[in-house]
Amino acid sequence: MKLYQRQISAVAATLSLFLCGVIYAQQSPAPQEKAALVYTAANRAPVPIPPSEAALQTVTAEPWLALADQRLFLEGAVFDRAGNLLFVDMFSGRVLKVAPDKSITTAVDKNKNAITPTGLAIHKDGRLFVAEVGDMATGGSIVAFSADGSGRKEIVAPSAGYFPDDLVFDSAGGFYFSDLKGSSTEPTGGVYYAAPDGRITPILRNLAAANGVALSPDGKTLWVTEYSRNILHRVTLASATTVAPVGTAIAYHFTGPAPDGLRVDADGNVYAAIFQQGRILVFNRNGLPIGQILVPGRDDGRFLLTTSMAFKPGTNEIYLVASDGDETRGATVFRTAGFAKAPSLFSHQ
C-alpha cells in the first residue's frame, strides 16, 4: 500500500511540474526578431530632406527650359532690363542669354575672352560683370563686358590673387564679391567690397570657400554662404566697408552639401541654393528657415547641382538653374514663385 501511495505521489509531482512548464511557456513572450534599420520613403532617396527641415512649407518647381543635349554647368542667373535671363556656363566659359521667347544666344564667348565664369551681375549702364575663378591656382578675376559681349575690361585683375566666385552690386555702384579660396581646415577665402573707384576692402576674412553673396533690400545686411563649412553668415553693415559693432553672426548651419548662390526678395527673405541637393532653402530676414523649393527628379538623383536663381523683375517668379551631373550632362532652368516680389536691383535703377 505504501509503495502504491509513493507511486501516486511521484506521478502527481511529475504532472504538476509538467503543468507548471506549460503555464510558464504560455506566459513567456515569444522570441523576437532582432531590431534593424529599415529604409522608408523619407530616407531612401539620394538626398533626403533633413528632419529639421522636413516640415517647412514646400513647393516643387516646374521645368521651364531644358538644355539636355549639352554638357553644361550653369551659375549666376540674372535678368537684364529687356527681360532676358542670363547665366554663365562654367564648362564652356560662356555667358548665355535667354530671351522671353526662350531663344538662346551667346553674350560672351570663352573663345574670345578665356574666362572660367561662376558669377554674374549687371551694372545699371548695362555692362555685364563676370566673376571668374580662373585656374584656382594663380588667381581669377572680375571682368566687365558691354551687353553684346564686346569691350572687355578687367575690374579685379588676376594679379590680386582672388578666386572670385560671385558678386552683388550695392546702390552706389560698388560690389561685394566672394573669394572661393580655402578649405574646411584652411580657411583662406573671404568677402570683399570693390568701390566704384576700384579700391578693395576686406569685409569678412578667414572663410572656407566663400561662395554666395546677397544684399538686403535696404543695403544694410550682407548675406554670405561658406561652402566648405556649410554656413550662412549674416553681416550687419554700418557702411559699405564697415561692419557694425557685434555685426557678424552665423545665422544657419546647413546639413549635407553645400550652400551655393544667394538671392533676396523685396521682403528681405533669403534664398540659398543647395548644391548637390536639388533644392533652395528659404530664410526670413533674421535667418530663420521658412520654406524650401524642390527640383523635380531630385529623389531619383536628377538635377541635384542647383547653384543659382534670379527673380523676374516686377514679379515673384523665380528662375533657378540646375545641372544634371553625370546623368545626362545637361541642365534645365526651372520656374516657381517665391514669398515676395523681386527687390529693386542696381541693374534696374
Which residues have a catalytic role annotated? 260
Query: What are the φ and ψ backbone dihedral angles of 2, each rounded to 5 degrees?
Result: -65, -35
Q: Within a 10 A sphere around the Cβ of 94, how many other Cβ atoms?
A: 21
Q: How far apart are CA 323 and CA 76, in angstroms?
A: 13
Q: Are strands 74-79 and 317-323 parallel, antiparallel or unpaired?
A: unpaired
In the block, cell 506549460 appears at 22
Helix (H, G, I), strand (E, B) or coil at 69: coil
Quick check: 142 and 134 in contact, CB under 8 A?
no
Q: Distances from the Cα of 105 to the Cαs of 98, 101, 119, 216, 298, in angstroms?
A: 7, 12, 18, 31, 28
The 8-class DSSP code of residue 11 comes to H
- How far the first Cα of the chain sits from its last, in Å, is 120
Pairwise CA distance, residues 213 & 242, whole Å = 16
Alpha-carbon span 318 to 59, nearest angstrom: 12
